[in-house]
Amino acid sequence: MRLNPDCIRDILLYIEENTTDEHPIISVNDLKSKLQKYDSGTINYHIRQIDQANLVDSVNYFEDGPQIVSNLSWTGNEFLANIRGDNVWNHTKSIATKVGSCSLNMLSKISVGVLTQIINKQLGY
């Protein structure tokens, strides 16, 4: 399956919006019911990718795939902070498409570059 950056972002946004210190976990079934534009297999695949990239604290797996996801990790919070804004996200995806790489690592690096450009422009550089 090909990595879908929008699915990654949507999952991370959902996790961020639906976890707290008091309730640090979400049900993957709840996530699937909220993100109906992606099929179950796509969400399962992307949760595994998010887990392998250490963007969340943990994922509990059972026989049929991921069932519970806990809070965003430090890395996940940082990645999401960099891609939160639609302008930055769209520009990041555009650059990734042009260079032919949509890996999570590359998306992270591109988003930092996009943000740096925006900051430099605001500072008059």
Q: Are 103 and 77 in contact (CB under 8 A)?
A: no
pLDDT of residue 113: 94
Rounded Cα distance, 90 and 86, in Å: 6
In the chain, which residues have pLDDT < 50?
A: none
pLDDT of residue 6: 96
- Paired with 27 in beta bridges are 68
pLDDT of residue 64: 82
pLDDT of residue 102: 83
Rounded Cα distance, 75 and 71, in Å: 11
Tell me what the pLDDT averaged over the chain comes to.
Answer: 94
* Strand ranges in the chain using DSSP code E only, listed in sequence order: 25-27, 59-62, 65-70
Report domain 5-72's class: mainly alpha
pLDDT of residue 27: 97
pLDDT of residue 125: 87
**Helix, strand, coil distribution of the chain in percent, nearest 5:** 60, 10, 25
Q: Provide the token pair at 21.
A: 């210190």
The full set of domain ranges for the chain reads 5-72, 77-123
Please report, as a single letter, which amino acid is at residue 83. Answer: I
Q: Are 69 and 59 in contact (CB under 8 A)?
A: yes
Cα 114 from chain centroid (whole Å): 17
pLDDT of residue 100: 85
